């Protein structure tokens, strides 16, 4: 009986720890290319209180390519912790 209680407690602890939400920082950079030059700059930082897989999914949703007055760009976002 004692072994069963320990096993159930260990499984319960493992299940709660795997679904813990914590703060994950998503940092983005924007890289402009054109006319033989490449310029990279910081382009935002977000904090997500999520599980790690969900935070990665939300961060990756900020990735983008396009163009604006500065030219063609690629925005890349990654979890830093």
- pLDDT: which is higher, 35 or 33: 33
6 is a domain residue: no
26 is a domain residue: yes
53 is a domain residue: yes
50-77, pLDDT tens digit by residue?
Answer: 999 999 999 999 999 999 887 899 999 9
Domain count, the chain: 1
- pLDDT: which is higher, 56 or 81: 56
Question: Are residues 35 and 24 in contact, defined by beta-carbon separation less than 8 angstroms?
Answer: no
Residue 46's domain spans which residues?
22-79
Two tokens, residue 9: 């407690």
14 is a domain residue: no
Q: What is the dihedral of CA 57, 62, 66, 72, to 10 degrees?
A: -110
pTM: 0.70
CB atoms within 10 A of CB 26: 21
């Amino acid at each position: 009986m004692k072994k069963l209680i320990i096993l159930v407690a260990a499984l319960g602890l493992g299940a709660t720890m795997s679904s813990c939400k914590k703060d994950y920082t998503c940092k983005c950079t924007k890289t402009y290319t054109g006319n033989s030059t490449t310029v990279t700059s910081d382009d935002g930082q977000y904090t997500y209180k999520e599980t790690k897989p969900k935070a990665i999914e939300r961060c990756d949703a900020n990735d983008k390519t396009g163009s604006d007055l500065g030219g063609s760009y690629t925005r890349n976002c990654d979890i830093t912790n």
